Amino acid sequence: MEKIILDGRIVAKHITENLIGRVKDLKERGVTPCLATILVGDDPSSETYVKMKGNACERIGIKSLRIHLPKETQTVDLLKVIEELNQDNSVHGILLQHPVPSHIDERKAFESIDIAKDVDGVTSIGFGQTAFGFGKFPSCTPAAIMEIIKYYKISITGKHAVVVGRSPILGKPVSALLLNANATVTTCHSHTVNLSELLKQADIVVAAIGKPNFIKGSWIKDGAIVLDAGYKKGNVGDVDYMECFEKAGAITPVPGGVGPVTISMLLKHTVISAETSIPQSH
């Protein structure tokens, strides 16, 4: 079997090229898609991510509205900012950069985002809609994983997918998306017994546990599809890349795998939200 590198940069380019024309059409109709990003505090990684997202927006003609709040900001102040953005018809997507300072009720802040503008898929309503199969904006990393699978024409129906991780914006929603695509899904986590044995049964492995080099090549079945959603400094993912490369039939690199597609899905969701807003505004 020929080994495939699942190159996220190619997938991201395919998505963004399609969006350029859609953004142009929207502007001709008097609507400029706008993504508002809120950053609370001075976390350097978060600042970098927000900047990357803003630059990606601007490259394809989406307006990037950046709101930087001091780390002393209280939950009530953050909720006020989100409510103003909910009411602003020129804003189509709202992204609250995670994590926020520990004294802020992050979940309360996420829940206050209008479902129509929840382009990052962080609300419980959005999660519920994703699980039921009619969510417009799944969390961007799970959406990216599904987009990579689709682009490379990987068959999911009847396959056994093992997801390692159960976070509300990655492990849980990607499990739901795979299940809706007719995979048989096992969701594993830090308390799972015999994780390596379960992974040996997997046709599709999604690594989303946030531990560098955690998944070993000896745990992977020959020919398995490996999608690594982890990223740590030094370009390290959640799977031991060199070991898993030897066994896998297809694998995402780190960097250049799931990451670029995650950002392009955020752009896509913002454009869809802008397109959806047009009937209400005329």
Which is nearest to 206 in space by CA: 246, 160, 242, 272? Answer: 160
64: Cβ–Cβ under 8 A, 6 or more apart, which residues?
Answer: 34, 35, 37, 53, 54, 55, 57, 58
Catalytic residue among 120, 228, 238, 240: 120
Check the CA dihedral 145-146-149-152 and report its sign. Answer: negative
- Active site includes 53? yes
Q: Is the bond into 255 cis (omega within 30 degrees of 0)? A: yes
Q: What is the DSSP letter of 99?
A: P
Catalytic residue among 53, 117, 172, 247: 53
Q: Is the bond into 99 cis (omega within 30 degrees of 0)? A: yes
Which class for 176: exposed (0-12), middle (13-18), buried (19 or more C-beta within 10 A)? buried
Q: For residue 158, how many other CB atoms are within 10 A of its CB?
A: 9
- Active site includes 97? yes
Catalytic residue among 7, 97, 228, 238: 97
Q: What is the DSSP letter of 221?
A: P
Catalytic residue list: 53, 97, 120
